A = this chain, B = another copy of it.
Amino acid sequence: MSAVTVTRARGVLRALLDRPELRNAITPVLLRNLHAALDAAEADPHCRVLVLSARGEDFCAGTDLSHGVPAEVPEPDADGLPYWKLLDRLTRTPVVTVALVDGRATAGGVGLAAACDLVIAGPRARFRLTEALVGLVPAMALPFVARRTGEQRAFTATLLAEDLDPARSVAAGLADTAADDAEQALRHVLVQLSRVDRATTGALKEYRARLFPRDERLGRDAGRAFLDRLTDPTVHRLIGERAA
């Protein structure tokens, strides 16, 4: 069973989030599939770009809470939870990561897009951090959102659960570009990226990590901050009401 469909062409690996009936929610399967797509992209020395896109109305709906809070929640290890590790890898891999968002990116789905090196917003793109509405804090997504938007904009988008259309997403920095034809915009970006080899993008991304170092304990702390709220009885009730 797979939540992601992978295709390859000329230095580009595409990972299509392919469970529209689940709103492409973040599940253990989806996370494994995306980690595997990254593994495949990194293992192929000719692969320069990994493109994440999605089928259906949702780019990604965030953590699947449609059945309420999961009975078992994992303890983050020193490197954080699997979702955090995926976002961290998307920012660090020498492969250029591109999110083509032409549907709703919600909650953790916003973080998934924001962690990519480039975000292209199609006409149906919406970005919305909805966590606070059910008592959660988007602790793992926020660092990746904030380095795009700055501290204040990441905070207000969360506090007000703002529903950002493509133009506002670009203004806020969540998307790098908006286009009526997202696939065409992607082709244009791929041409631009074809001028830079993988060793160079790897060196650039490594230097970015040097210039903007992240606190080593942030992954673990972000996981705990997320789980702290998730296991709160009030949050349980709010999520349960939504799931019902």
Q: How far is the CB of A5 from chain B (nearest CB, A)?
A: 26
- Chain A residues 164-215 with CB under 8 Å of chain B are 173, 176, 189, 192-193, 195-197, 199-201, 203-204, 207-208, 210-212
Q: Which residues of B contact A117 (CB under 8 A)?
A: 155-156, 159
When chains A and B are docked, how far (Å) is the Cα of A210 from the Cα of B139?
10
A193 to B160, CA, bound (A): 6
Give the chain B neighbours of A38 by CB distance below 8 A. none
Given A150-B150, A196-B133, A158 and B204 touching (CB < 8 A)? yes
Q: Contact: B192 with A135, CB < 8 Å?
A: no
User: A100 at interface (Cβ–Cβ under 8 A)?
Assistant: no
Chain B contacts for A142, CB-based, 8 A: 207-208, 211
| Oligomeric state, in copies | 3
Question: Does A152 lie at the interface of the complex (its beta carbon under 8 Å from any beta carbon of B)?
Answer: yes
Q: A19: CB under 8 A from chain B?
A: no
Across the interface, which residues of B come within 8 angstroms of A212, CB to CB? 146, 151
B176 x A156 contact (CB < 8 A): yes
Query: What residues on B are CB-neighbors of A221 within 8 Å?
Result: 210
**Alpha-carbon distance between A155 and B192 when the two chains are bound, in angstroms:** 14
A23 within 8 A of B: no
Interchain residue pairs with CB less than 8 A apart (15): A118-B159, A132-B204, A136-B200, A137-B204, A137-B207, A142-B208, A148-B150, A148-B151, A150-B173, A151-B208, A155-B204, A159-B196, A161-B192, A197-B234, A203-B225
Additional 17 contacts, C-beta under 8 A, given A132-B200, A137-B207, A143-B211: A96-B159, A117-B159, A118-B159, A135-B200, A137-B204, A139-B207, A142-B207, A142-B208, A147-B150, A151-B212, A153-B173, A159-B196, A159-B204, A161-B195, A161-B196, A199-B234, A210-B225
